[in-house]
């Protein structure tokens, strides 16, 4: 039992540390006053996106537009006095300043016309920037200002006009900016500042990788974002395992990448060497019928020559056989995964050309397995071993990939709780009766939040465990399990039927049964039970979920659980547009409540820039707060209020002489 004196001493140690940042009563009191003022401001806007799947152009546009928030600010400031086309043009300039600016300047007939356009545009951008900065303290806005022109922007945004004429004051500064050849730089900086201040926090609810062409561009932009968190999706964790050097995860990543003809991204952007794989693939499979192995293609990203498609298909088949061999090994090592029967190479009748799946026998659509030894199907031949070793080395040595995956670990987790919202990509595994499913790993049972926490901890072992250790290998195997395991919170289906869809013609074998979670989340009591499991309760608490595209085209609603659960995977990826009828959902949480945005397909950045074509979207308030939400009502507000209490204790310590002012405290 701790004594009162011990608690007092520990408290004084903390106050002594706090005194290093606030060395006087005046400094502490000043921070209390400014923090109390901050608590009374409206909460900042949070922006939620999910299932980006490498669709970099659509991601960039929605990020730049903040799902329509920027356009709303433009309309509020300019109003109906400015034609709609001019407002759309200004919004595009804010989204893409570096690309749009030269186009707009080129329309000016002469120097006077350019100066007039500069003046008009700068004044409009200043007014929009003043609006989006109104939710923030002046100190915060100053921290966001670029060093090269921060002082002038600060003056423009925070000038008071009681003593002088606004138009004259602005006119003089703007005129000076133009005369000194700085207008372009100021326009770009103002556009970036507007986007920076419009959204406080970005939440990515999983699946950045696969299918789309450039996940690397998305990761680069997220790494530069001022405030982001990521909830891992199953497509993310398998890439995390690949970067860690897991052979099974590497083969899985390559199989998906080749299936969508995206291997050029792997080679050009991540520097992954596929030469050895291609050579081996041609050696063993080059003369096979590769019709089953042809990649999914997108005409907008073509054209594709027969030679390109052949090279992709032959590597697709070769790496799939490697993957199936690795799956046998991982399933053997991990009886906890309960995946016996999915080691398919051991269930093939080589004479009959059939495979047994779930007790039924099916003819194989492709019976050419030249590298498989029927007596030991999981064994790699010498050529395959060399290829796999080279691939592991290439993934491990990709500097850019390692940077991206380290970022995913630093900013990511299986789930996240913030401001009353619970965010996760997949499911909280459930039983048919609606209770949380209990899973047993490494001799312990887990369910609900404890299962999610365990998955998070074990996923980190796969990357950060000691090199060459069983702990690290176990973690890497588990990253693969999170990709496709029946009770993986990131997957949530009975099986990943990759083998069945490739090798079996009967559609009945392709069925992936959804976790009972998806049935139960229709009910309010299920959503509330999940929220309680994670320590949340109240009308303002919600679950934000991704992973399974909502089939809006069939009338399905993304709002479940009596309005308490929102699935925001609406088919961001082009491959899903026909199935969902839309191009994704995003969510905006501002000081008034939660707004669901429904987006139509995005054609291209080029069309957006040159024709001012925005993504067609519609908005729906799905939760309206009973009163405006202030900073004091947020998680950050709670931390600020705790700081105020500590600072008040520090002021009292200064006043009573317990701590001296202005002296660095020694521990």
In sequence order, what DSSP letters do the residues of 214-273 get, joined into one string? Answer: -HHHHHHHHHH-SSEEEEPPHHHHHHHHHHHT-HHHHHHHHHHHHHTT-HHHHHHHH---
pLDDT band for position 363 (cuts 50, 70, 90)? very high
Q: What is the pLDDT of residue 183?
A: 87
Tell me which of 561-565, 596-600, 624-628, 633-637 is least confident. 596-600
Q: What is the pLDDT of residue 173?
A: 79
Q: What is the pLDDT of residue 346?
A: 96
Q: Mean pLDDT, to the nearest integer, of 281-307?
A: 89
One-letter-per-residue 3-state SS of 464-490: HCCCCCHHHHHHHHHHHHHHHCCCCCC
Q: What is the pLDDT of residue 269?
A: 94
Select, from the ranges 72-81, 149-158, 181-190, 636-645, the one with the highest average predicted confidence (pLDDT). Answer: 636-645
- Greater confidence (301 vs 522) lies with 522
Tell me which of 86-95, 180-189, 434-443, 562-571 is least confident. 562-571
pLDDT band for position 644 (cuts 50, 70, 90)? very high
Q: Mean pLDDT, to the nearest integer, of 461-466?
A: 95
Residue 370, helix vs strand vs coil: coil
Beta strand 421-424 with 542-545: parallel, antiparallel or unpaired?
A: parallel
Backbone φ, ψ for residue 439 (5° rounding): -120, 150
- Residue 356 falls in which region: left (phi positive, over 0), alpha (psi -120 to 50) or beta: beta
Q: What is the pLDDT of residue 44?
A: 92
Whole-number percent of the chain with pLDDT over 90 = 66
Q: What is the pLDDT of residue 665?
A: 46
Q: Mean pLDDT, to the nearest integer, of 253-277?
A: 95
Q: Mean pLDDT, to the nearest integer, of 138-154?
A: 77
Q: Mean pLDDT, to the nearest integer, of 126-138?
A: 86
Q: Which of 506, 517, 455, 444 is nearest to 482 (CA)?
A: 455
Select, from the ranges 127-136, 160-169, 241-250, the one with the highest average predicted confidence (pLDDT). Answer: 241-250
Q: What is the pLDDT of residue 570?
A: 60
pLDDT band for position 666 (cuts 50, 70, 90)? very low
CA angle 345, 351, 354 (to 5 degrees): 55
CA torsion through residues 20, 21, 24, 29, sign: negative
Q: Mean pLDDT, to the nearest integer, of 490-499?
A: 94
Report whether pLDDT(355) > 90: yes
Q: What is the pLDDT of residue 123?
A: 87
Report whether pLDDT(620) > 90: no
Q: What is the pLDDT of residue 545?
A: 92
Q: Kindly provide the residue ranges of all beta strands, DSSP E only, lying in 102-192, ordered along the sequence.
A: none
Contact 644, 35 (CB under 8 A): yes
Q: Which of 495, 404, 517, 396 is nearest to 451 (CA)?
A: 517
Q: What is the pLDDT of residue 174?
A: 81
Q: Mean pLDDT, to the nearest integer, of 91-102?
A: 92
Q: Mean pLDDT, to the nearest integer, of 170-192?
A: 85
Tell me which of 79-88, 152-161, 441-450, 563-572 is least confident. 152-161
Cα 160 to Cα 138: distance, rounded to the nearest angstrom: 13
Q: Please, what's the b/e burial string for 309-339 (b: 16 or more CB within 10 A of its CB; e: otherwise)?
A: bebbbbbbbbbbbbbbbbbbbbbeebebbeb
Cα 86 to Cα 287: distance, rounded to the nearest angstrom: 59
Tell me which of 149-163, 503-517, 630-644 is least confident. 149-163
Contact 11, 609 (CB under 8 A): no
The secondary element (H helix, E strand) that includes residue 654 is: helix 635-656
pLDDT band for position 157 (cuts 50, 70, 90)? confident
Report whether pLDDT(274) > 70: yes
pTM of this prediction? 0.92
pLDDT band for position 400 (cuts 50, 70, 90)? very high
Q: What is the pLDDT of residue 66?
A: 87
Q: Mean pLDDT, to the nearest integer, of 563-588?
A: 74
Q: What is the pLDDT of residue 667?
A: 38
């Amino acid at each position: 039992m701790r004594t009162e004196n011990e608690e007092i001493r520990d408290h004084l140690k903390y106050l002594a540390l706090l005194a290093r940042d606030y060395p006087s009563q005046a400094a502490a009191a000043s921070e209390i006053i400014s923090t109390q003022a901050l608590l009374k401001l409206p909460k900042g806007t949070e922006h939620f996106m999910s299932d980006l799947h490498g669709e970099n152009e659509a991601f960039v546009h929605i990020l730049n537009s903040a799902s329509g928030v920027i356009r709303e600010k433009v309309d509020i400031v300019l109003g109906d006095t400015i034609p709609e086309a001019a407002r759309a043009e200004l919004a595009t300039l804010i989204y893409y300043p570096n690309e749009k600016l030269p186009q707009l300047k080129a329309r000016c007939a002469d120097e006077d016309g350019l100066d007039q356009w500069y003046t008009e545009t700068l004044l409009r951008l200043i007014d929009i920037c003043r609006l989006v900065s109104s939710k923030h303290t002046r100190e915060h806005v100053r921290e966001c200002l670029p060093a090269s022109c921060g002082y002038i922007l600060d003056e423009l945004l925070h000038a008071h006009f009681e003593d002088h004429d606004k138009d004259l004051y602005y006119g003089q500064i703007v005129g000076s900016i133009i005369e000194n050849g700085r207008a372009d730089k100021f326009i770009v900086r103002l556009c970036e500042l507007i986007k920076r201040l419009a959204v406080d926090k970005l939440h990515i609810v999983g699946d950045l990788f696969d299918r789309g062409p450039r996940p690397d561009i998305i990761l680069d932009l997220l790494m530069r974002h001022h405030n982001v968190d990521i909830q891992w999706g199953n497509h993310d964790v398998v890439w995390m395992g690949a970067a860690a050097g897991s052979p099974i995860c590497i083969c899985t990543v390559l199989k998906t990448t080749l299936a969508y003809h995206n291997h050029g991204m792997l080679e050009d952007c991540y520097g992954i060497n596929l030469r050895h794989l291609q050579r081996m693939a041609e050696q063993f499979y080059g003369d096979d019928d590769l019709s089953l192995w042809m990649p999914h293609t997108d005409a907008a990203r073509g054209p594709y020559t027969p030679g390109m498609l052949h090279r992709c298909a032959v590597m697709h088949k070769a790496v799939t056989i490697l993957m199936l061999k690795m799956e046998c090994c991982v399933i053997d090592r991990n009886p906890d995964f309960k995946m016996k029967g999915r080691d398919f190479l051991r269930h093939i009748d080589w004479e009959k050309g059939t495979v047994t799946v779930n007790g039924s026998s099916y003819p194989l659509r492709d019976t050419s397995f030249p590298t498989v030894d029927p007596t030991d199907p999981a064994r790699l031949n010498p050529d395959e071993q060399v290829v796999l070793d080279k691939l592991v080395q290439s993934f491990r040595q990709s500097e850019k990939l390692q940077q991206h995956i380290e970022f995913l670990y630093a900013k990511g987790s299986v789930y996240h709780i913030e401001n009353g919202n619970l965010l996760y990509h997949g499911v909280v595994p459930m039983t048919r009766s609606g209770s949380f499913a209990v899973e047993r790993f490494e001799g312990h049972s887990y369910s609900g939040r404890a299962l999610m926490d365990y998955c998070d901890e074990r996923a980190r072992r796969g990357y950060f465990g000691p090199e060459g250790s069983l702990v690290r290998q176990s973690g890497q195997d588990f990253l693969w399990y999170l990709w496709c395991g029946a009770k993986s919170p990131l997957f949530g289906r009975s099986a990943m039927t990759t083998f069945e869809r490739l090798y079996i013609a009967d559609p009945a074998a392709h069925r992936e049964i959804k976790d009972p979670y998806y049935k139960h989340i229709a009910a309010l009591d299920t959503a509330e039970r999940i929220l309680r499991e994670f320590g949340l309760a109240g009308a303002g608490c919600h679950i934000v979920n991704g992973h399974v595209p909502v089939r809006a085209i069939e009338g399905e609603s993304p709002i479940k659980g009596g309005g308490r659960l929102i699935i925001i995977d609406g088919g961001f990826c082009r491959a899903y547009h026909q199935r969902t009828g839309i191009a994704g959902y995003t969510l905006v949480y501002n000081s008034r409540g939660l707004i669901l945005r429904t987006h139509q397909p995005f054609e291209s950045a080029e069309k957006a820039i040159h024709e001012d074509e925005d993504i067609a979207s519609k908005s729906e308030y799905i939760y309206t707060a009973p009163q405006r939400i202030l900073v004091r009502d947020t998680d950050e507000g709670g931390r600020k209020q705790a700081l105020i209490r500590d600072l008040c204790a520090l002021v009292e310590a200064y006043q009573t002489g317990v701590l001296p002012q202005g002296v660095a405290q020694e521990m």
